Amino acid sequence: MRMRPTLSWTPTQELPPGTTDLEPIADVLRTGGVLVLSGAGISTESGIPDYRGEGGSLSRHTPMTYQDFTASAQARRRYWARSHLGWRTFGRARPNAGHRAVAAFGRHGLLSGVITQNVDGLHQAAGTDDVVELHGGLDRVVCLSCGALSPRRELARRLEEANAGFAPVAAGINPDGDADLTDEQVGDFRVLPCTVCGGVLKPDVVFFGEAVPPQRVEHCRGLVRAAASLLVLGSSLTVMSGLRFVRQAARAGTPVLIVNRDPTRGDGHALTRVALPLGDALTTVAGRLGVPLGRGGPL
């Protein structure tokens, strides 16, 4: 079943205001059993923009949908040209203080798990184990015909060889690794097939309009059921793929806490929303708990 893309959200009721008090966040972490749900806002300090925050990419860019990608060869050409160029920058991004704090909390046994809506791999690069990538990962490519998985770096090498000299200047990079290019800049970019069966290749990520695999959703629901609390970091919770876990936790009486500078679609279910930059906020909390932050390694 394919989901209809949700690109924006407008509050229909007055939401509780954000706070700068970090003690509730520190309290739940002291107790342990915290399940983290992270979104694009945790990666902005690594140079990857978010979708909906101030200056978010949706103000200038409509993400590729699954329906357009599968229906049109020209859409695939446009996507892969933009994504190939974006990968050169996106693939060099490094974890920031927020990612390192999450990894440190995990090492100290304070977390029950991490679910991320991001496709950038920065939690893993910071040292967090067993991350559930709700929307997949850009570091992998899947064939839509035979299902073969392959490393993104392998496809990047093949695309470099097939499109020698392709180096347009992009207007910006988006959270999905897609660079902003005009159709003229895309030109006759050559798209490559699967090396196993010749089928259509797609990054192993959930596009807008595509459903998260049911088994992955159920796994995440199990993590929510087992958690002592749910801590949302840097997600507007606009799309149902993340919001459903907040609603599930709230229905079960599991405390929900949010760190996000802007209001979110889940604020009405949360005990508190801390409206502070994530890196500073989590670093401060780590200091209060006596948890040293490590240094994230390369992707």
What are the angstrom distances between the C-alpha of 266 and each of 59, 76, 84, 91, 244? Answer: 22, 34, 34, 31, 9
Q: Tell me whether residue 106 is annotated as binding.
A: no
Q: Tell me whether residue 55 is annotated as binding.
A: yes
Q: Tell me whether residue 4 is annotated as binding.
A: no
CA 91/CA 84 separation, integer angstroms: 10
Find the angle CA(42)-CA(250)-CA(231) to the nearest 5 degrees.
25
Cβ neighbors of 89 (< 8 A, separation 6 or more) are 47, 173, 179
Which residue in 84, 123, 135, 269 is the catalytic one? 135
**135 catalytically annotated:** yes
Task: Name the residue among 115, 85, 99 with its Cα closest to residue 177.
Answer: 85
Q: Tell me whether residue 63 is annotated as binding.
A: no
Q: Tell me whether residue 117 is annotated as binding.
A: yes
Q: Tell me whether residue 43 is annotated as binding.
A: yes
Q: In what order do the strands lie in the sheet with 229-233?
A: 131-133, 111-116, 34-38, 229-233, 256-259, 272-274
Q: Tell me whether residue 14 is annotated as binding.
A: no
Q: Tell me whether residue 41 is annotated as binding.
A: yes
Q: Tell me whether residue 25 is annotated as binding.
A: no
Q: Tell me whether residue 136 is annotated as binding.
A: no
Residue 88: burial class (beta carbons within 10 Å; 0-12, 13-18, 19+) = middle
Q: Tell me whether residue 56 is annotated as binding.
A: yes
Q: Tell me whether residue 147 is annotated as binding.
A: no
Q: Tell me whether residue 276 is annotated as binding.
A: no
Q: Tell me whether residue 235 is annotated as binding.
A: yes
Q: Are strands 34-38 and 229-233 parallel, antiparallel or unpaired?
A: parallel
Q: Tell me whether residue 58 is annotated as binding.
A: yes
Q: Tell me whether residue 292 is annotated as binding.
A: no
Q: Tell me whether residue 119 is annotated as binding.
A: yes
Q: How many CB atoms lie within 10 A of CB 107?
A: 15
* Long-range interactions of 149-155: CB distance < 8 A, separation 24+: 149/204, 150/195, 152/87, 152/91, 152/203, 153/91, 155/192, 155/201
What is 96-164 written as a DSSP string?
Answer: -HHHHHHHHHHHTT-EEEEEE---S-HHHHTT--SEEETTEEEEEEEETTT--EEEHHHHHHHHHHHTT
Cβ neighbors of 17 (< 8 A, separation 6 or more) are 275
Active site residue ranges: 135
Binding residues, by number, are 39-59, 117-120, 143, 146, 194, 197, 234-236, 278
Q: Which residues are annotated as a binding site for NAD(+)?
A: 39-59, 117-120, 234-236, 278
Binding-site sequence positions for Zn(2+): 143, 146, 194, 197
